[in-house]
Amino acid sequence: MINLPESFLRMPRWWTEGAEWLQDLPAAVERQCERWSLSVVGAVSHGSNAVVVPVARAGEEFVLRMSPPGAEVSDQVWALRWWAGRGMAYLYDADVEVGAMLLERLSTPLTSRPIDEAVAVLGQLMRRLAVPAPDDARSTADIVTTRTAELEPQWERLGRPFDVAILREALAIAPTETTSTLAVNGDFHAGQVLAGQREAWLMVDPVLFRGDIEYDLGRVLWWDLDRMDDIVRYFDLAVREAGLDRDRARDWVIWRTVDYWLYGLGVGLTEDPVRCARLISALSR
C-alpha cells in the first residue's frame, strides 16, 4: 500500500473537506491497481488535490492519478479525451466515479527550464491546442460577461484595494465578445507542463473552453513573474510564439489580472496580488 507524502497531507484543501477520501486513498489506489492490473513502480508525487503514482502493466509505463471524484474530474476527462494527446498527456482510461485516471508517463517539468524557454514553450502550446473546439465548451466571452459584472462590487467590498483607474480600464477593455471558436485551455501555466516522448512538452489537468486563446496569457505571466526581469519582453515573447494579436492579448492580460487580483484578495492570498500589481503596472498604457 502506498505512503502519502506529508506535504500532500498538509495541503490547505484538507483543512475543511476530504478527510474521509484522504483516509481511504491508499486503499483506493490499491483497488484501482487491481482493477486495471497495474503495479506500483515508483514514489508518489502530488499536486494540491491529487496524487500521481508511477505504475506499469505488461511492460508499459503509465501514471495513476487519483483525486476526489466530482465535476472537476469529469471535466478533465472530457478535455483530455477531446484533445486526444494533442499537446496533452494521453488518457488511457478513467473511472470518474472514484476520481481515477490512467495517463501517459511524462518526465521533466517545464519549471526546471530557463524562463525564456518556458515562456516560448507555453506560447507554442497555446497555439498547438488552438483547434476548433466542441460546440458545448463554455465560451470565454460568456465567462468574461458574467465575471465583469462582479468586478466593481467585489472591489467595493474589499475596500477599494487598488486605484479605480485600473478597475475602469479592465471594465472598458473586457473581451465580452469573440468570433473565435478555437479550443482554449483555461488552466494554463508552466506548472502544468512536463516533458514527453511523443511531443517535446505536454500539458496536464486541462480545462476546455472555446473562444479567445489569449484567455490565460495573464496566468502564464503572473505564475512565473518572479523569474522575469523584463515583464514586457516576456509578454512579447509569448505573443510572438503563440501568433497572437498584441493589442488583443494585452487587453486579455489586463482583464484576467484584475479578475485574479480581486479573487486572490477575496480568498486571502498575499503574494499573488503583489504580482498582479506589478503585471498591471508593466502593461498599462
HEC profile of 39-81:
EECCCCEECCCCEEEEEEECCEEEEEEECCCCHHHHHHHHHHH
Q: How far apart are CA 187 and CA 240, in angstroms?
A: 20
Question: Of all helices (H) and strands (E), which one includes residue 87?
Answer: none
> Quick check: 68 and 125 in contact, CB under 8 A?
no
Tens digits of pLDDT across the chain (285 residues): 788 888 988 888 888 888 899 899 999 999 999 999 999 999 999 888 899 999 999 999 999 999 999 999 999 999 999 999 999 999 999 999 999 999 999 999 999 999 999 999 999 999 999 999 999 999 999 999 999 999 999 999 999 999 999 999 999 999 999 999 999 999 999 999 999 999 999 999 999 999 999 999 999 999 999 999 999 999 999 999 999 999 999 999 999 999 999 999 999 999 999 999 999 999 987
* pLDDT number for residue 3: 85
The pLDDT tens digits for 16-51 are 888 899 899 999 999 999 999 999 999 999 888 899
Helix residue spans in 137-214 (DSSP H)? 140-157, 164-173
Catalytic residue among 187, 205, 229, 272: 187
Q: What secondary structure letter does DSSP report for 190?
A: G
187 is catalytic: yes
Q: How far apart are CA 89 and CA 91, in angstroms?
A: 6
Q: Which CATH number fits domain 110-283: 3.40.50.300, 3.10.129.10, 3.40.50.150, 3.90.1200.10?
A: 3.90.1200.10
The pLDDT tens digits for 81-101 are 999 999 999 999 999 999 999
Q: Helix (H, G, I), strand (E, B), or coil: what is residue 112?
A: helix
- State if pTM tops 0.75: yes
User: Could you state, in order of their start, the residue ranges of all structural domains in the chain?
Assistant: 6-104, 110-283
Q: Which CATH number fits domain 6-104: 3.30.200.20, 3.20.20.140, 3.40.1350.10, 1.10.10.10?
A: 3.30.200.20
- Integer CA distances (angstroms), 275 to 60, 90, 222, in order: 42, 33, 6
